Structure 1
Amino acid sequence: MNFKVSTGIVESPLKVVLYGVEGIGKTTFASKFPKPLFIDLDNGSARIDVNRIQGVETWEDLLSIVQDFSESTGNPYQTLVIDTADAAARLCEAYVIKTKASKGQTSMEDFGYGRGYKILAEEFSKLMIWLERCVDRGYNVVVLAHAIMRTVTLPDATGNYDHWELKLPGSSVNKLGPLLKEWSDLLLFADYKTILIDANDGFGSKKKAKGGRRVMYTTHTPFADAKNRFGLDDMLDFDYDKISRLVPANVISEEPAKPNPETKPEPKAEAKPKQTRKKKQPAVHEKEPSEALKKLYALMDEANIKEKDVIEALVLKGICLSTAKLSDFNDAFIETNLVAPWEGVKHFILETMPF
């Protein structure tokens, strides 16, 4: 067996999605992260002393900024903040309508049958890939978003309840919210917890509200989505100090910037020919794929699914980084998580995943 085994806790940057009600202090909370740079799409940081990029008016500009941030060397920042995901989605919508509309569509609904939202989710995933690249390089990434309340109707008309969720566009299948939720290590919902007291100084049953305590939920509840991978209490005071221990020290990788494929390299100086001729060496071939990998490749070929599609699905599930290859996984993982449940994997890639 050829397993690469490591032990202990691996310190890695945080992937945080924070959403909440208006005015609760999401931007202030994000400003407490180490050396943050805000991409301020909502002009929400104006009253906070932070470094920011403003005036981002197009989707192309946003992708370019995040790409440049992820590939830069000597970067003085340790955290990238997107403020907010809602505004990023609006830029993405405008780009899709401008570049993908073929029959005069002016909104996502005009594309028909959810096709517009499928294209939107596919395009928005490009931002997620570059944010993942930032994490690969060692930067914390914080994505802020507004919250919207939706009424959920239970099956068989047995009742309904209110549920807070990310204020992002999408159809029933192709939503942007799940992309962010699955990508994050820490999904936080911030809200006010209202305190009820007796309205008649303790002598009656009538209650009245008194103030509100700012709190954040870290695990899923019937009224809001939240999650964490760190064993946090279900509810905490909305205070950065409550999660500061999770934020790693500076782990920025000073690797060279990723080359732009459109930039042609400078021609090398021509080497002076040698007098003696060397015997031509045989070509070096990649390692023969394992039997499990061969099975997976056969299933992928039959469904016309590429390796990058499988990797991107694993990235969305939080299993690996976008730089991974299928050959990196051992046979046990491939058999158990990809080959055996292939029908479910195929359905996720072709029907659910926005690619």
Structure 2
Amino acid sequence: MLNVTSGIIARPVKCCVYGVEGIGKSTFASQFPDPLFFDLDGGTSRLDVKRVTDIQSWPQLMQSIEEVWKNLGTCRTLVIDTADAAERLCIGYLCGKHEKKGIEDFSYGSGYAYLVEEFARFLLSLETCVTQGVNVVILAHAILKTITLPEEMGQYDHWELKLSTKTTNKVAPLVKEWADMLLFANYETMLVEDDKSKKKKAMGGRRMMWTSHTTFADAKNRFGLPDKLPFEYAQIAKCIPNGAAPKPVPEPAPAAKQEPEPPKPVTPAALAPKKPAPQTKHEALLGKVRALMAQAEMPERTVTESIAKKGYFPKDMPIDEYPDDFIEGVLIGAWDQIVKFIEDERIPF
């Protein structure tokens, strides 16, 4: 039978942000929930963020991504900074593997076919992060290209992802198809006419982002965003699960001196038993897990040891300290597999 469902499914977001140099792409990504930067370009030194800076090869990059989705709780957003740097690592790996000096040395354009195949594996690994509850943001630089229309109808300029430009290379289309949200960031310059000289001069330079395809840039989104917005994370925060930008905590006002109040008379209502506080999501999830353990007559220690064997968390870490996403998606969602592992001494989840 078909397992038909309906309604909107909340899930982490796959986002690609590209734009001109220095517009603030890394700063924008740093406002996603609990980000971890794979800083391949060395562009986060002035940001107070978690980062990995020692990724020097393509296999190391792939292994690092795998460590993120195998070790849940490392971060809630993985940021690849940048796609062009990742592509360079991929090309270097392929040339070394096939003993070529450059990607053009492969015969009949086969080097680009290998490149697309490897980059597809890279995006698939990032997709695994998403299925494990982690947002993924890919940053990229932009390059302006001239598009020539057929039959000599004319030319126009178009901003694109700064990736290899050969027609046989489909890396950029792969990234654009993969993303739920493709954002193009640029400065919007206004032309104002001088009253005296009647000449137009450039004014402004606001940072803006485009969320839908235009004639001058590729962009898209699956969230019904306006076509153009200020380049600020707050404009898309509603699209990111638990992604509201943190609000600054106001300084507490100095407490005014007050005379002590006289004791209030005790009323019958004050003596009545208080209603228990409503359960938090974490408490509710723990209740479900413990109900499953009781039903299967499974001690908590046995469960934590099985989780430790897979390498998710230390065996002495109690279930109470596990993140909600892991409890809901693995302990509850894959309970049958956990029981089978404990019985067969293996973990297939």
TM-score by length of 1: 0.68
Name the CA distance, whole Å, in 2 between partners of 1:192 and 1:8. Answer: 38
Count of paired positions: 256
Moved more, 108-117 or 29-38: 108-117
* Matched residue, 2:192: 197
User: Do 2:68 and 2:74's aligned partners in 1 also have CA atoms closer than 8 Å?
Assistant: no
List aligned pairs for 1:179-258, cutoff 5 A: 179-199=174-194, 202-249=195-242, 252-254=325-327, 255=330
Name the CA distance, whole Å, in 1 between partners of 2:211 and 2:11. Answer: 19
Q: 1:28-65: CA deviations, max 9, x gaps?
A: 00000000000000010000000000021010100000
**Larger Rg computed on CA atoms:** 2
* Matched residue, 2:91: 93
- Give the residue type in structure 2 aligned to 1:156: E
Once the two structures are TM-superposed, the CA of residue 113 in structure 1 deviates from its matched residue by 2.2
Name the CA distance, whole Å, in 1 between partners of 2:101 and 2:146. Answer: 28
Name the CA distance, whole Å, in 2 between partners of 1:197 and 1:59. Answer: 48
User: Do 2:120 and 2:174's aligned partners in 1 also have CA atoms closer than 8 Å?
Assistant: yes
User: Do 1:117 and 1:170's aligned partners in 2 also have CA atoms closer than 8 Å?
Assistant: no
* Matched residue, 1:109: 104
What SS does structure 1 have at the residue aligned with 2:108? coil
Name the CA distance, whole Å, in 2 between partners of 1:76 and 1:94. Answer: 28
- Give the residue type in structure 2 aligned to 1:127: F
2:121 maps to 1:48: no
Moved more, 17-26 or 64-73: 64-73
User: Do 2:18 and 2:139's aligned partners in 1 also have CA atoms closer than 8 Å?
Assistant: yes
Name the CA distance, whole Å, in 2 between partners of 1:215 and 1:80. Answer: 23
What SS does structure 2 have at the residue aligned with 1:113? helix
Q: Which has the higher contact order (CA 8 A, sep 6+)?
A: 1
2:156 maps to 1:83: no
Name the CA distance, whole Å, in 1 between partners of 2:25 and 2:164. Answer: 20
Once the two structures are TM-superposed, the CA of residue 169 in structure 1 deviates from its matched residue by 1.4
Q: For the aligned residues, what is the CA RMSD?
A: 2.3
- Give the residue type in structure 2 aligned to 1:252: D
Cα 1:38–1:244 change in 2 (3 A) is same
Name the CA distance, whole Å, in 2 between partners of 1:173 and 1:137. Answer: 33
Name the CA distance, whole Å, in 1 between partners of 2:109 and 2:162. Answer: 18
Q: What 5-or-longer segments of structure 1 have no aligned partner?
A: 259-264, 270-322, 324-355
What SS does structure 1 have at the residue aligned with 2:207? strand
Once the two structures are TM-superposed, the CA of residue 6 in structure 1 deviates from its matched residue by 1.6
Once the two structures are TM-superposed, the CA of residue 77 in structure 1 deviates from its matched residue by 1.4
2:115 maps to 1:120: yes
What SS does structure 1 have at the residue aligned with 2:163? coil
TM-score by length of 2: 0.70
Name the CA distance, whole Å, in 2 between partners of 1:99 and 1:76. Answer: 31
2:167 maps to 1:172: yes
What SS does structure 2 have at the residue aligned with 1:180? helix
Q: 1:301-344: CA deviations, max 9, x gaps?
A: xxxxxxxxxxxxxxxxxxxxxx9xxxxxxxxxxxxxxxxxxxxx
Name the CA distance, whole Å, in 2 between partners of 1:114 and 1:239. Answer: 40
User: Do 1:114 and 1:171's aligned partners in 2 also have CA atoms closer than 8 Å?
Assistant: no
2:23 maps to 1:30: no
What SS does structure 2 have at the residue aligned with 1:192? strand
Name the CA distance, whole Å, in 1 between partners of 2:196 and 2:234. Answer: 39
User: Do 1:59 and 1:92's aligned partners in 2 also have CA atoms closer than 8 Å?
Assistant: yes
Name the CA distance, whole Å, in 1 between partners of 2:325 and 2:49. Answer: 20
* Matched residue, 2:67: 68
Name the CA distance, whole Å, in 2 between partners of 1:57 and 1:174. Answer: 23
